[in-house]
Amino acid sequence: MKNSSIIRVAFALGAMTLLAACGGSGGSDSSSNNDSSNTDSTTRDLEGQSITIYSGRNETLMAPLFAEFTTATGINVEVRYGDSGELAALIMTEGDKSPADVYFSQDAGALGAVQDAALFTTLPTDITALIEPQFQSTSGNWAATSGRARVVVYNPALVSVPPMSLDDLLNSQWMGKIGYAPSNASWQSFVTALRLTRGEDGARAWLTDFAANKPVAYEKNGVVRDAVNAGEVSLGLINHYYLYELIASTGPEKVVAKNLYFKDGEAGSLINIAGVGVLASSARTDAALEFVRYLLSTAGQTYFVERTFEYPMISGVSPFSELPTLRELNPPAIDLADLKSIEVTQALLEDVGLLTR
Amino acid sequence: MARLLRAPLALAAPAMVAVVVSLVPLVYLINTSLQRGVQQLIDEIFVSRTATLVMRSLALTVVVTVACAVLGTINAWFVVRSSAPLRPLWLMLLAMPLAIPSYLSAFAWITWIPSLNGYFGAAIVLTLASYPYVMLPVAAMLRGADPQLEDVAQSLGVSPLRSITRVTLRQVSPAIWAGSLLVALYVVSDFGAVATMRLETFTWVIYGAYRAGFNPTRAATLSLVLIGVALLLVVLERRVRGRTVQRVGSGSARHAVRQSPLSLTLPAMAVAITSLGFGIGVPVISSISWTRSSGFVDWAEVWSTIAASFGVGALTGLATVLLALPVGILLARFKGRLNGFTEGAVYVTHSLPGIVIALSVVYFGISIARPFYQQIPLLVFGQMIIFLPLVVGSVRTSIEQSRPAYEDVARSLGISRMKTIFRVTIPLAIPGIAAGGALAVLGAVKELPTTLILRPTGLDTLATSIWKYSSVSDFGAIGPYAVALMLLAALPTAVLSTVTVLRVIK
């Protein structure tokens, strides 16, 4: 079967990721020398340079990718890991004296904040031409590097007719049967998108009804997924890749849960992005841009597809064949930078009683 | 009791350095909040949500502080005055919750009982984490307290329990107040427990302004409100502490004889066992179970993070003691117009969440101390600001409990004031120095937000490793770091309680 072979590949790659992560960044990676097409004369001049990356993305997931970048380009990286929002605040406090060359963020909101502070340089067109306009800053200051889709993960043993839309989730048949992670940033981005698409009143109405359906709060998205897979709850509101992480770590035979995509242009079809920008204060702009090019190269994008199971942003790399394409997903027509009003979202969530229960 | 009126310059000058260091966050906050003008600042403060959040934080602070005062005092009485066996061991164990960071115990609780989130869960976790701040000073004071007053009360027909509530409690009330102030300031500043319990308190919103609002100006304004709250707490504590019962007259105090009936010892023991079971049992058992579920552990990495945590902790402890010593001596032995100001300046920063302290160090460090930026010295500097009040309080209490007559004798023998300080006062302060240093090491080992922002790029401590793996839900990987952190933090906690034990059980 085609599906199970993909899953086996995913499993093997996941295991390799773990080994690579455990081995540390010192070991050289034999698989990453096939990128010689990338190493033109400009890159050779940059060999031996070192750039500093502020990464809001987690070390266990990203360290192997950064090591591959160094192997491919000869440019060394120093990485400072932290929370995306806190790193944005750090950059804004450091101002034009920031030691950072690159800011790699988990979400668009934080990138928008650094852009508003006028601390990014404009990305050259060879980079911005690679990706759809909806997945980059309107002023060319940052570019998305990968995407994650909101999904409903469900347990087929408990769900005969899956919900087809956000409003189906409000049906009383799901009373007490939906899991969600109230403190998770992607959940809060989803609610922010709900505010942007349905307006404040519409969002409040949906959330009030959702709260009346007594959803079950879990600490993290991964725990929601496990609860659905174990049959504790029937549905879970999470991101698409959590299912594939589980398959990679336990093997496909232990996973019964499946992902469901609404594809209706509403907040339930939101695609959150991780993205990158180069700081205007950087003295090593060329090397920093080379890093951005690497993230958006075939090798970089394949890494996201195979190891973090995310959506690629360039047309040359396809997502898993079992995932719907970005176009099929039909995400809501919103400016991703507008997702930064998370504080308003949190106040609303608290107000309708969905933050603590 | 003649007090020297004015401090020698050689003491006052370093004390003023400590004040300047403590004011770093305040200057940063005022500068940043004024970036968008005074009107914006006023608008931000006077929105109704600010008031709601202040009230909620205060409600949590009051509940936790009262609970800690009760729990800490009962446990202190249990380890000093009850007829239980092995009381020094009890004291050491009962202090151990200090070794467990609030984010870790909150995480352990909420994975155990997910429905515990919110106000109730935060109150439980914070109470169990901070009652030792009350227990330790109360235990020390209880040992020093003169039992004759209790004897008198009981000889007049007052029951043992009533003699405790009416006499003993009053004798140790300064220690209860001092401990409660630390608890209150800690609760106001804590983020780990309220974040995990998803309780929107004031700190939650300050972090939110950075993490979710991307708005440092707003965060700074809200932090100024927090400083206002902290000033209120400090002033309140000073006023109450001023009116305490003092022993008058000559004669020497008899050391307390254990005479407590079993009817009091047993309930107190029940409280102590409950404190231990929930305060240590839940996080320790959770962490060990996480470790067992993990397949592969990179022990070399674990060891290097232990070394990093230990190094940073030791440097912070040393630096904080050096800075705190002149302030402690000044506050304990000299009267000056600036004492109130000095005390306030040092204490209020303790109410600020770690991220605010860290960013204030960034703000100045990047321009003034660029060679040390994102290096160990500035990390230690940031942590020093946070833990300075704990060490100052500890040094000061230690000196205050000794007689100024010692110094008077030295002076009458013609020894200069500075020499007296070095030969008499500092030796008197040694228990306080040891206890305070231990508190700073302990705090530095547990501290996460300042470490994340100020650490040298690439340096992992136990706290940052726990953060790293918890954000990808890798429980198996968290386990070894969590256990290692608690074991490492248990060392300074043991020093802390040993100092108290030496003072308490002679």
Whether A89 and B214 lie within 8 Å, measured CB to CB = yes
Q: Is A89–B469 a contact, with Cβ atoms under 8 angstroms apart? A: no
Per-residue pLDDT tens digits for A126-138: 999 999 998 999 8
Locate B386 and state its tokens: 């946070």
Chain B residues inside the 8 Å CB shell of A110: 214
- Selecting from B200, B457, B471 the residue whose C-beta is nearest the C-beta of A79 gives B457
3-state secondary structure of A267: helix
Nearest-5° angle of CA B246, CA B249, CA B252?
90
Residue A343 forms contact with B (CB below 8 Å): yes
Distance from CA of B376 to the nearest CA of A (A): 15
**Nearest beta carbon to residue A58 from set B115, B213, B472:** B472
Question: Cα distance from B324 to chain A (closest Cα, Å)?
Answer: 29
Question: pLDDT digit string (tens) for B168-195?
Answer: 888 888 889 889 988 998 999 888 888 8
Name the pLDDT band for B385 (thresholds 50, 70, 90).
Answer: very high
**Do B473 and A223 make contact, defined as CB atoms within 8 angstroms?**
yes
For β-strands A258-260 and A235-239, DSSP reports them as: unpaired
- The residue of chain B with its CA nearest to that of A349 is B200
Check if the beta carbon of residue B450 is closer than 8 Å to that of residue B383: yes
Chain B: give the shortest CA distance to residue A176, in Å.
14
Q: pLDDT band for B248, please (50, 70, 90 cuts).
A: very low
Whether the CB-CB separation of A349 and A283 falls below 8 Å is answered with: no
Residue A182 makes CB contacts below 8 A (sequence gap 6+) with A217, A349, A354, A355, A356, A357, B198
Instruction: Give residue A28's pLDDT.
Output: 37
- Chain A residues near residue B214 by CB distance under 8 angstroms: 85, 88-89, 92, 109-110, 112-113, 340
The answer for A 211-230 residues in CB contact with B (under 8 A) is 217-223
Q: How far is B273 from chain A (nearest CA, A)?
A: 29
pLDDT of residue B425: 87
CA B241 to chain centre: 18
The CA angle A205-A257-A307, to the nearest 5 degrees, is 100
Instruction: Nearest chain B residue to A242 by CA: give it.
Output: B472
Nearest CB to B118: which of A60, A88, A356?
A: A356
Question: Which residues in chain B are closer than 8 Å to A350, comparing Cβ atoms?
Answer: 200
Contact B452 A82 (CB under 8 A): yes
Is the CB of residue A218 less than 8 Å from the CB of residue A179? yes
A350 contacts B214? CB cut-off 8 A: no
Any CB–CB contact under 8 A between A99 and chain B?
yes
> Chain A residue with minimal CA distance to B459?
A80
Q: What local confidence, expressed as pLDDT, does residue B473 receive?
A: 65
* Chain-chain contact of B452 with A188 (C-beta, under 8 angstroms): no
Beta-strand pair A102-105/A50-55 = parallel
A90 contact B CB<8A: yes
**In A194-213, which positions are buried (b, 16+ CB within 10 angstroms) versus exposed (e)?**
bbbbbeeeebbebbeebeeb
B-contacting residues in A 181-200 (Cβ below 8 Å): 182-183, 185, 188
User: Is residue B244's pLDDT more than 60?
Assistant: no
Closest residue, chain B, to A52 (C-alpha): B457
CA distance A41 to chain B (A): 30
Contact B453 A82 (CB under 8 A): yes
Residue B4 has pLDDT above 50, yes or no: no
Chain B residues with CB-CB distance to A221 below 8 A? 473
Distance from CA of A110 to the nearest CA of B (A): 6
Determine the residue among A76, A81, A224, A341 to mutate to test chain B binding: the one whose Cβ has the most chain B Cβ atoms within 10 Å. A81
Asked whether the beta carbons of residue B210 and residue A52 sit closer than 8 angstroms, the reply is no
What are the residues whose beta carbons fall under 8 Å from the beta carbon of A8, sequence distance 6 or more? A252
- How far is B491 from chain A, CA to nearest CA, in Å? 28
Query: What pLDDT score does B95 carry?
Result: 93
CB contact under 8 A, A93 and B219: no
Q: Which pLDDT does position B1 carry in this prediction?
A: 37
Residue from B214, B294, B379, B470 to probe the interface with A (highest A Cβ count within 10 Å): B214
Angle of CA points B315, B318, B322, to nearest 5°: 140
Mean pLDDT, to the nearest integer, of B445-457?
94
pLDDT of residue A3: 44
Q: For residue A189, give how far its alpha carbon lies from the nearest alpha carbon of chain B (Å).
A: 10
The pLDDT confidence band at residue B219, using thresholds 50, 70 and 90, is confident
Q: What average pLDDT does the segment B21-50 reach?
A: 81
pLDDT at B389 over 70: yes
SS3 content of chain B, % helix, strand, coil (to 5): 80, 0, 20
Cβ–Cβ contact A93 with B under 8 A: yes
Of all helices (H) and strands (E), which one includes residue A105? strand A102-105
d(CA B152, CA B172) in angstroms, rounded, equals: 17
Min Cα–Cα distance to chain B from A132, Å: 25
Rounded mean pLDDT, B216-222: 85
Query: What mean pLDDT do residues B223-231 have?
Result: 88
Residue of A nearest to B50 (CA): A347
DSSP structure class, residue A123: P
At residue A38, the pLDDT reads: 46
Q: Please report the number of interchain residue pairs, chain A to chain B, with beta-carbon separation below 8 angstroms.
A: 118
d(CA A140, CA A112): 11
| Residues in CB range of A348: below 8 A, 6 or more apart | A191, A195, A200, A203, A204, A207
Question: Who among B111, B362, B474 is closest to A90 (CB)?
Answer: B362
Q: A79, B366: Cβ pair inside 8 Å?
A: no
A90 neighbourhood in chain B, CB within 8 Å: 359, 362, 453
What is the pLDDT at residue A42?
A: 56
Residue A128 and residue A112: Cα distance in Å, rounded? 16
Of residues A79, A98, A218, nearest to B114 (C-beta):
A218
Q: Which amino acid belongs to residue B366? A: I
| Min Cα separation B217/chain A (Å) | 10
Q: What is the pTM of this model?
A: 0.85
3-state DSSP assignment of residue A271:
strand
Subunit contact B214:A110, Cβ cutoff 8 A = yes
- Per-residue pLDDT tens, chain A, 357 aa: give them: 344 444 444 444 444 444 444 433 333 333 334 444 444 445 567 888 999 999 999 998 999 999 999 999 999 999 999 999 899 999 999 999 999 999 999 988 899 889 999 999 999 999 999 999 989 998 999 999 999 999 999 999 999 999 999 999 999 999 999 999 888 888 999 999 999 999 999 999 999 999 999 998 887 888 899 999 999 899 999 999 999 988 888 888 989 999 999 998 999 999 999 999 999 999 999 999 999 999 999 999 999 999 999 999 999 899 987 899 888 899 998 888 888 888 888 889 988 988 765
Q: In this predicted structure, which of A38-42, B241-245, B341-345, B392-396 has the lowest mean pLDDT?
A: A38-42
Residues 6+ apart with CB under 8 A from B146: B171, B247, B253, B254
Distance between B290 CA and the closest CA of chain A, angstroms: 15
Least CB–CB distance from A58: residue in B49, B362, B471: B471
Query: A351 CB near a chain B CB, below 8 Å?
Result: no
Nearest to A219 among B114, B211, B355 (CB): B114
Answer yes or no: is pLDDT of B373 > 70: yes
CA distance A183 to B345: 35
Chain mean pLDDT for chain B = 85
In chain B, the residue whose alpha carbon lies closest to the alpha carbon of A225 is B473
- Residue B335, both tokens: 């009267």
Residue whose tokens read 């339930």: A268
Tell which A residues from 242 to 281 touch B, by Cβ distance under 8 Å: none
| Spatial distance between the Cα atoms of A131 and A128, rounded to a whole number of angstroms | 6
Distance from CA of A292 to the nearest CA of B (A): 20
pLDDT band (50, 70, 90) for residue B503: low
